[in-house]
């Protein structure tokens, strides 16, 4: 029956076990409750067909076209659906234990309450799929795309999500005990109320929109964006003598904070009123000591650094323009030292 034309036929309850239907056209056919054990449907066109409660244990549906197919409650244990095009198909309550759907296209498919223990869904496209309440214990979803997928209350114990994309996925109340999410993308994922015992999040990525179970902290080994932002926004985090932040080493402190720290330290030192370049012993760079300004006219903090050789504009007698702010010079010393 290779390449058979069976579109819209009614084969409900028929015995097609071990039949070779590879390349067959079963468009909109009815095969509810049919016995299709070990049936070969490789490259078959099954779009719109009904396989409700059909027995398809060990069947081969590699690269089959299953768009919109109804497989509610079907027995697909150990079936081969690798590379199948099953966008929007219904697999609610289906038995997929040990089945292989590597690289299958299952976007927007319904697998709610499906039993898919130890199934191979690696590299599958499950974008927007509904896996609510599904049992995927020990399943392999490595490199699978689960963006926007619904996995509320799903059983994902010891499941493998290595390199998988779970952006915007809803895993609220899911059981992820022992799950592997190494290098998984978890941006905006929802793990509210999920079981996270022994979860491996090595090198997984997340953002401020990722929602974790209460009391859980993602030990990824790298600080999240929120942690880094908090570290750099912390007041006086890099002041002279301050203890380094646990997330940022002393060598990683922003360079622009150092002049401010030195500025504060110099305010407590009596300075000569004569502008002169001195050699900074710690930095080995020339530094200019500014004329001392009376406290009532001191420029507001923060003080801006002045480059060596910067001139001040002479105003009226006894006044100078200090970075755009006029101030009163102190009276010159009686011994006639140079101004």
pLDDT digits (tens, 9 = 90+) for 209-262: 999 999 888 754 444 445 445 555 544 443 444 444 444 444 444 444 444 445
DSSP string, 233-293: HSTTTT-TTPPPPTTS-GGGS-GGGHHHHHHHHHTTS---SS--EEE-TTT-SEEEPPPPB
- pLDDT band per the 50, 70, 90 thresholds, residue 328: very low
Nearest CA-CA partner of 109 in 133, 84, 126: 126
The angle at the Cα of 100, spanning 143 to 90, to the nearest 5 degrees, equals 90
CB atoms within 10 A of CB 307: 7
Query: Has residue 317 got a pLDDT over 60?
Result: no
The angle at the Cα of 184, spanning 161 to 186, to the nearest 5 degrees, equals 115
Q: Among 199-208, 217-226, 316-325, which range has the highest average pLDDT?
A: 199-208
pLDDT above 70 covers a percentage of the chain that reads 64
Predicted local distance difference test score (pLDDT) of residue 113:
97
3-state secondary structure (DSSP) of residue 170:
strand
What does the pLDDT average to over 293-316? 46
User: Hey, which residues does 80 pair with through a beta bridge?
Assistant: 60, 100
Average pLDDT, the chain: 78
Say if CB 117 and CB 134 are below 8 A apart: no
Q: Where are the domains of the chain?
A: 228-260, 276-328
Measured in whole angstroms, how far is the alpha carbon of residue 319 from the centre of its chain?
A: 59
Say if CB 99 and CB 76 are below 8 A apart: yes
Residues in the chain: 339
How is residue 54 written in tokens? 């059909």
pLDDT (tens digit, 9 = 90+) per residue, 34-84?
A: 999 999 999 999 999 999 999 999 999 999 999 999 999 999 999 999 999
The structure's pTM equals 0.65
Say if CB 150 and CB 171 are below 8 A apart: no
**Dmax (CA) of the chain:** 118
């Amino acid at each position: 029956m290779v390449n058979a034309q069976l579109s819209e036929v009614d084969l409900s309850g028929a015995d097609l076990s071990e039949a070779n239907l590879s390349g067959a056209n079963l468009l909109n056919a009815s095969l509810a409750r049919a016995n299709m054990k070990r049936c070969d449907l490789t490259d078959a066109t099954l779009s719109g067909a009904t396989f409700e409660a059909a027995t398809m244990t060990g069947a081969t549906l590699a690269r089959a076209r299953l768009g919109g197919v109804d497989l509610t409650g079907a027995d697909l244990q150990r079936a081969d659906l690798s590379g199948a095009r099953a966008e929007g198909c219904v697999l609610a309550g289906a038995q997929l234990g040990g089945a292989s759907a590597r690289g299958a296209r299952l976007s927007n498919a319904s697998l709610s309450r499906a039993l898919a223990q130890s199934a191979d869904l690696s590299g599958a496209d499950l974008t927007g799929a509904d896996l609510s309440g599904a049992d995927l214990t020990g399943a392999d979803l490595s490199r699978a795309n689960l963006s926007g997928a619904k996995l509320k209350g799903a059983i994902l114990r010891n499941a493998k999500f290595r390199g998988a994309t779970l952006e915007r996925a809803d895993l609220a109340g899911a059981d992820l005990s022992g799950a592997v999410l190494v290098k998984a993308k978890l941006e905006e994922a929802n793990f509210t109320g999920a079981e996270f015992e022994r979860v491996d999040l090595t090198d997984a990525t997340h953002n401020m929109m990722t929602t974790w179970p209460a009391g859980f902290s993602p030990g990824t080994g790298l600080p999240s964006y929120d942690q880094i932002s908090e570290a750099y926004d912390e007041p006086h985090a890099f002041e002279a003598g301050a203890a380094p932040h646990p997330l940022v080493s002393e060598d990683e402190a922003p360079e622009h904070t150092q002049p401010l720290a030195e500025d504060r330290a110099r305010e407590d030192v009596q300075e000569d009123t004569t502008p002169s370049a001195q050699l900074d012993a710690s930095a080995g760079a020339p530094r200019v000591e500014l004329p001392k300004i009376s406290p009532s006219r001191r420029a507001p903090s923060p003080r801006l650094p002045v480059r060596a050789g910067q001139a001040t504009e002479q105003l009226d007698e006894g006044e100078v323009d200090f970075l755009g702010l006029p101030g009163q010079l102190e009276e010159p010393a009686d011994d006639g030292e140079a101004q």
